[in-house]
C-alpha cells in the first residue's frame, strides 16, 4: 500500500529518476503484436463489414483506388492512397466502394491464407479496383494499453499534409509493393512497416489534438507529475510514499497530491494499485510466472495479499484471468 509519511523520506536514488521525456518513454512501449494482416483486392461494387475485435486496434491503408470508412457513430469518410485510418478500440465498422454499398461479413468471405497471421482477400463485382492493406494489432504493455484507451474512436493521418510526408509516403509505397509481390520475407516487412505507420499516426494525434492534453497523457506531459508517474511505472514493487513522490516532483506533499489527482483523475495511491494490477494482467499470460513471483515483483508480502488486490481491481481472481487469457491467445 502507498502511504503518507513525513517529508523527511529519502528521495529516490539517481538511477530511479526518469528521463526528461516521460511521454516519449510511454511511446516506447507501443510495441504491437499482430492478430492478423490482410491484403485486400476489391472491385466495385463491394462492401466489407468488420466485426468488433475487443482489445484490438485496427488500421487501413489504401494503396490504390479509394474506399469509404463507415461506422454507427460518424459520417462515412473517404480514404484515398496516402491516408492511414486507425480504429483504436476495435469497434465494428465497414469499408465499401460507396457509402451505401451492401457489406459482406469479413469472416464469411473466402480468403487466401498466406501464413498464420497474413491473408489475401478478393471480393467485388468486377468494376473499378481498390487495393488495401488492413490489420488488427494488440498492445501488450500496460503503458501502451493506457495510451490507446485515450485515443478517439477514429484517427486519420493524411500523410501528404505532414512534415514527415516524404518518408511516410515512401513507407506506404514500399508496403504496397511488398504486399503485391509476395516475395520471401514480405509478410514480416509489411507488418513491421505497419507498426511504424501506426505509431507515427498515434504520435501525430498526441502532438496536434487538444484531447491529448488532458487525463493521463496530459499528466505525462506535466514536468512534475510526469516524473512521479514514471517513477511508479518503472518501479511498481517499491513501497512508494506520497512524500517520496512529492520530493521527486519538487513539490509539497499536499500540493503534489492535489495536482496528481486533478491531472490523472485519481490519487497516487489508487493509481499505483491500478498500475500494478495492469502489469499483473500482462505478466499472467506467461504460464511460467507464479503468483508468488508476481506478489514479490509488485511489492506484496504474500500471494494472498496480491490475489485479494487483484480481484478487487480486476474483478476476477488471478487464476481465472490466466485461464481466460490462455483461451483467447
Q: Which of 7-21, 173-187, 195-209 has the lowest mean pLDDT?
A: 7-21
Cell of 221: 506531459
Range 184-204 average pLDDT: 77
- pLDDT confidence tier of residue 47, bands split at 50, 70 and 90: very high
pTM: 0.73
The pLDDT of residue 147: 80
pLDDT category of residue 165 using cuts at 50, 70 and 90: low
Which pLDDT score, from 0 to 100, does residue 309 have? 95
Q: Check whether 176 has a pLDDT greater than 90.
A: no
Asked whether the predicted pLDDT for residue 96 surpasses 60, the reply is yes
Domains of the chain: 31-212 (2.60.120.280), 215-328 (1.10.10.60)
Lowest mean pLDDT across 45-49, 80-84, 258-262, 316-320: 80-84
Average pLDDT over the chain reads 83
Measured CA to CA, the distance from residue 310 to residue 87 in angstroms comes to: 30
Q: What percent of the chain has pLDDT over 70?
A: 85
Mean pLDDT of 221-234: 90
Q: What is the DSSP string of 152-186?
A: -S-EEEEGGGSTTHHHHHHHHHHHHHHHHH--TTH
Mean pLDDT calculated for residue range 16-43:
72
> Would the pLDDT of 85 be above 80?
yes
H helices within the chain, ranges in order?
A: 22-28, 142-149, 165-181, 186-208, 215-221, 223-234, 242-248, 253-264, 268-283, 291-297, 303-314, 318-328
Comparing 102-111, 218-227, 300-309, the range with the smallest average pLDDT is 218-227
* Residue carrying the nine cell digits 476476477: 316
**C-alpha dist (Å) from residue 85 to 67, 243, 303:** 11, 44, 44
Averaged over 175-195, what is the pLDDT?
72
- Residue 213 vs residue 262, higher pLDDT: 262
pLDDT given at position 150: 83
For residue range 5-25, list pLDDT tens digits in order: 333 334 444 334 445 567 777
Q: What is the pLDDT averaged over residues 49-72? A: 91
Contacts of 31 (CB under 8 A, 6+ apart): 139, 140, 141, 144, 195
DSSP-derived secondary structure letter, 213: G
Task: Tell me which of 15-29, 141-155, 238-252 is least confident.
Answer: 15-29
d(CA 47, CA 44): 9
Distance CA 195, CA 307 (A): 35
Amino acid at each position: 500500500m502507498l502511504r503518507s509519511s513525513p517529508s523527511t523520506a529519502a528521495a529516490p536514488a539517481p538511477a530511479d529518476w526518469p528521463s526528461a521525456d516521460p511521454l516519449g518513454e510511454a511511446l516506447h512501449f507501443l510495441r504491437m503484436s499482430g492478430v492478423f494482416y490482410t491484403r485486400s483486392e476489391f472491385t466495385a461494387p463491394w462492401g466489407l463489414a468488420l466485426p468488433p475485435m475487443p482489445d484490438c486496434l485496427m488500421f487501413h491503408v489504401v494503396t490504390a483506388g479509394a474506399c469509404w470508412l463507415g461506422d454507427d457513430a460518424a459520417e462515412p469518410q473517404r480514404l484515398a492512397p496516402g491516408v492511414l485510418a486507425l480504429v483504436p478500440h476495435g469497434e465494428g465498422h465497414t469499408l465499401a466502394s460507396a457509402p451505401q454499398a451492401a457489406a459482406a461479413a469479413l469472416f464469411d468471405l473466402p480468403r487466401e491464407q498466406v501464413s498464420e497471421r497474413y491473408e489475401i482477400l478478393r471480393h467485388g463485382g468486377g468494376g473499378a479496383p481498390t487495393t488495401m492493406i488492413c490489420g488488427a494489432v494488440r498492445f501488450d504493455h500496460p503503458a501502451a494499453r493506457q495510451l490507446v484507451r485515450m485515443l478517439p474512436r477514429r484517427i486519420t493521418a493524411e500523410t501528404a499534409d505532414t512534415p514527415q510526408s516524404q518518408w511516410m509516403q515512401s513507407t506506404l509505397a514500399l508496403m504496397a509493393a511488398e504486399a503485391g509481390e509476395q516475395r520471401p520475407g514480405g509478410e514480416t516487412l509489411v507488418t513491421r512497416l505497419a507498426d511504424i505507420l501506426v505509431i507515427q499516426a498515434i504520435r501525430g494525434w498526441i502532438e496536434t489534438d487538444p484531447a491529448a492534453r488532458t487525463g493521463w497523457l496530459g499528466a505525462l506531459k506535466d514536468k512534475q507529475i510526469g516524473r512521479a508517474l514514471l517513477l511508479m511505472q518503472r518501479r511498481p514493487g517499491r513501497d512508494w510514499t506520497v512524500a517520496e513522490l512529492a520530493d521527486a516532483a519538487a513539490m509539497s506533499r499536499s500540493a503534489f497530491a492535489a495536482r496528481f489527482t486533478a491531472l490523472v483523475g485519481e490519487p497516487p495511491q489508487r493509481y499505483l494499485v491500478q498500475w500494478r494490477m495492469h502489469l499483473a494482467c500482462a505478466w499472467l499470460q506467461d504460464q511460467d510466472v507464479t503468483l508468488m513471483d508476481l506478489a514479490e515483483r509488485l511489492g506484496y508480502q504474500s500471494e494472498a495479499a496480491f490475489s485479494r488486490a487483484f480481484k478487487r481491481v480486476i474483478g476476477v481472481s488471478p487464476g481465472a484471468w490466466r485461464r481466460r487469457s490462455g483461451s483467447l491467445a
